[in-house]
A and B are shown apart, each in its own frame.
Chain A
Amino acid sequence: MRLAIAALSGALFGAGLVISGMTDPAKVQGWLDVFGRWDPTLGFVLTGAILPMLVAWRVAARRRTALTGIGLPPPPPQRIDTRLIGGAALFGLGWGLAGLCPGPAIASVGFGGAPFLIFFAAMIAGMLLFALWDRRA
């Protein structure tokens, strides 16, 4: 059951990403191009994505466990630290340069061809580099 739900959410997430335009790097750069020819499409994507989740968090607040009996996530941590700010800044730079964030990068693995696979491989390398750096720090 848990695996079926995971696969189904992944499938729905993937369909949403390609239909919305999130997997189109030109569209993403257009959304971030606030000083140039700004394309507001991705604002609609984010708004559309947040709406069902507003409801879901309200439902979750009234339940003790998820449908499969697993505990629901604890309240979010509040700490704003340099790791959060620094990490978000590095991520944002990469997102703007390539027009790809992790979800769309994964979704493009099966159809994007070489450039998208190169980005995907570099993203995994970046995750490994972080794990190495974090172990030493």
Chain B
Amino acid sequence: MNPDWIAGLTGGLMIGCAAALYLLGNGRIMGASGLLGGLVDGTGRANWLERVAFLGGLIFVPALLVATGIVQRSAPVAGTGVLVLAGLLVGFGTRLGNGCTSGHGVCGISRFSRRGIVATVVYLLAGSFAVLLARAAGWTA
């Protein structure tokens, strides 16, 4: 089997275990855009410390894994203009649609949520279209 697939499956299982721990431990759905977005717009004020703790772990461990050379640093695929546009779209879109890959994808699909499944199909289609567009336009870093 291709080593990339093994890494993908292993990492995926870790992501799923993290979501399971957050659900069964703290009773919450592990959605990255919601956890951050609630801090950005103040709607998550009630449990802000819990959000900060989660985001702290999420930032610290990857930095540690890269610094120690266990995981390779990744390179961007787009220039500054495209990165800004894409960031705005991701920020606005995930708040409007109330979720991203972790909330709708991992947590939604696994409970057979209609909204999670529909959202995932839509963002996969839109993402494929965006890559087609980026490739055609020759947008690279």
Contacts and interface: CB of A to CB of B under 8 A. Distances in A.
| Chain B facing A: main interface SS | helix
Contact of A48 (B8, B82, B86): B8
Contacts of B65: 15, 18-19
Contact of A14 (B61, B89, B96): B61
B90 A45 contact: no
B32 A32 contact: no
Given A25-B76, A53-B106, A14 B127 contact: no
Interface string B109-139: 1110111101110111111111111110001
5 contacts: A21-B8, A88-B120, A92-B125, A95-B123, A98-B86
A50 B93 contact: no
A73 B60 CA distance: 27
A88 B91 contact: no
A20 B129 contact: no
A48 B11 contact: yes
A85 B122 contact: yes
Interface residues of A, number: 114
A132 B127 CA distance: 26
A14 to B, nearest CB: 4
Contacts of A67: 24-26
Nearest to A85: B122
Interface string A83-106: 111111111111111111111011
Interface in A9-60: 9-27, 29, 32-36, 39-57, 59-60
Nearest to A83: B96
B109 to A, nearest CB: 6
A128 B41 contact: yes
Contacts of B33: 102, 127
Contact of A76 (B16, B87, B115, B120): B115
Contacts of A53: 16, 19-20, 23, 106-107, 110-111
Contact of A11 (B7, B57, B141): B57
Contacts of A79: 115
A116 B5 contact: no
A99 to B, nearest CB: 5
